[in-house]
Copies of this chain bind each other. A is one copy, B any other.
């Protein structure tokens, strides 16, 4: 979980987009990607808690600011969960913008989003709205939780 020199170099490419390169942002980014691979979406709070267990704790404000900056820069997808909580997920490329989230265990599946995109585009055309941004929040029960309804809740 510690930032190796190599990952720092890689991180510079992306983190610098947000401003200066700092150790904290590198840590947040690394934990963010690790969380992405492990469980998909994470909240700023849980990411902060995760970072507290490392040897380089990062402040909660910094986590919030970094995640928001990443989202604004298009490097993270955001989704709402529960009452006002925001969940973030790292976005490697420029694709993948919609997810399907299991209500039971919280696992998230990235969608090709072609159908969704088409729907939104059609909506924009019909309604004459411009600059249409869409946030599609799909929730359901994943195959595992659906077959045997006794799964571990999301972390």
Contact = CB atoms under 8 A, between A and B. Distances in A.
Interface of A: 80, 83-85, 100, 102-103, 109, 111, 115-116, 118-120, 122-124, 127-143, 146
A137 B134 contact: yes
B116 A130 contact: no
17 contacts: A100-B123, A102-B129, A115-B118, A120-B138, A123-B138, A127-B142, A129-B142, A129-B146, A130-B143, A131-B140, A131-B141, A133-B138, A133-B139, A133-B140, A135-B137, A135-B139, A137-B137
Contacts of A138: 120, 123, 129, 132-135
Given A84-B84, A123-B115, A139 B130 contact: no
Identical chains bound together, number: 2
Contacts of A83: 84
Which 6 pairs show the lowest CB-CB distances between chains A and B? A84-B84, A132-B140, A129-B140, A115-B119, A119-B119, A135-B137
A127 B139 CA distance: 11
B139 A136 contact: no
A44 to B, nearest CB: 12
Given A100-B127, A102-B129, A136-B136, 4 more contacts: A80-B84, A128-B142, A130-B140, A132-B139
Contacts of A132: 100, 138-140
